[in-house]
Amino acid sequence: MLNGSAKGEGEIWGPLEAPGAEVIAAMARATVAALPAEFAGHAAEVAIRVEDFPPEEFMQELDLDDPFELSGLYEGVPLPEKSVMDQPQRPDTVWLFRRPILDEWVERGNVTLGDLVAHVTVHEFAHHFGWSDEQISEIDRWWE
């Protein structure tokens, strides 16, 4: 019975799998598409990447030991700091880390995966628009 061998059990549980990177990316793109018009144009210029875990270079830069501590990251130059004189090294990118997001979703148990992905996505795009973590936390009561 533990391996799903009971009649009908495999039909219910067998095909279930954790959402892959492409599902998380589709949720993030839908979130960006739903942004208000004043943000949508600038947001469309930002790449969205989904990886299972943050790359080691991010972990070192942020002085983190546990990759489950980081569910998303904005990499780039915030809009208020951009200059026409700057030569971009690479595109601004919002990174979403699938495994930490899935872990948080399971731990919370009170939000949908789509809502959590939307929250992380909007938080990282807020950094693109030049908001600090403190400014974001003032209006975003998600964590309370």
Q: For the segment 41-51, what is each residue's pLDDT rounded down to a tens digit? A: 888 889 999 99
What is the reported pLDDT for 28?
96
Sequence-ordered list of residues with C-beta below 8 angstroms from that of 124, at least 6 positions apart, any chain: 72, 73, 74, 94, 95, 96
Q: Which residue has the higher pLDDT, 17 or 13?
A: 17
Residue 1: inside a domain: no
Residue 7: inside a domain: no
Contact 43, 130 (CB under 8 A): no
What is the reported pLDDT for 11?
62
Residue 5: inside a domain: no
The number of domains in the chain is 1
Question: What tens digit of pLDDT does each residue of 65-98 get?
Answer: 999 999 999 998 887 777 767 666 778 999 999 9
Domain range for 61: 21-79+93-139
CATH code for the domain of 53: 3.30.2010.20
Residue 2: inside a domain: no
Residue 10: inside a domain: no
Residue 129: inside a domain: yes
Per-residue pLDDT, averaged over 5-32, amounts to 79
